[in-house]
Amino acid sequence: MAKKPKKQQQSGGTPATVALTAAGMEFTVHAYEHDPGHPSYGEEAAEAMGVSPDRVFKTLVADVDGALTVAVVPVAGSLDLKALASAVGGKRAAMADPALAERTTGYVRGGISPLGQRRKLPTVVDASATTHPTICVSAGRRGLEVELSPKDLATLTAATLAPIARA
């Protein structure tokens, strides 16, 4: 992992990178050319950065018993909605309406970051994140990822760690 970003990166940053900088967290930004025709935002990020899909995590927004909840899972797997509901003490979970997820987080689909969201939502990070020294999550726009320690991600988002992904 590289040094903390310099101030000039913050001025052109996203809410996610600004939040990381303000919190004094160490992180690295990875930019790549986004291909709108690629079938998977997360897999595209892993391929473009040359990183294992197990270390690249996607941010999904679900509705758990009427409350929006953020789930962060490896792009190599999928979200187990029952496990997510259980992790936050809920009964039922379904994927949130994409337009609602965009309005609530302030990010566009394919670029939703768990960091720096417009409205702070309960967040659950898949427990597999802790098996890696660093993971990558969206930095707030398509073609931009941020690499950080799973512990820093959990701290900054006040996340619960739980097994919510399926292979």
Per-residue pLDDT tens for 78-99?
A: 999 999 999 999 999 999 999 9
Both tokens of 84, joined, read: 């997510």
1 with 26: CB under 8 angstroms? yes
- Residues 44-82 pLDDT 10s: 898 999 999 999 999 999 999 999 999 999 999 999 999
Q: Structure pTM?
A: 0.90
Supply the pLDDT for residue 12.
56
Give the pLDDT score at 167.
84
DSSP output for the chain? --PPPPHHHHHT--HHHHHHHHHT---EEEE----TT-S-HHHHHHHHHT--TTTBEEEEEEEETTEEEEEEEETTSEE-HHHHHHHTT-S-EEEPPHHHHHHHHSS-TT---SSS-SS---EEEEGGGGGSS-EEEEEEETTEEEEE-HHHHHHHHTPEEE--EE-
Model pLDDT, residue 3: 40
Contact predicate 43/75, CB 8 Å? yes
The number of angstroms, rounded, from the C-alpha of 73 to the middle of its chain's C-alpha atoms is: 8
Lowest mean pLDDT among 32-36, 113-117, 133-137: 32-36
For position 60, what pLDDT does the model report?
A: 97
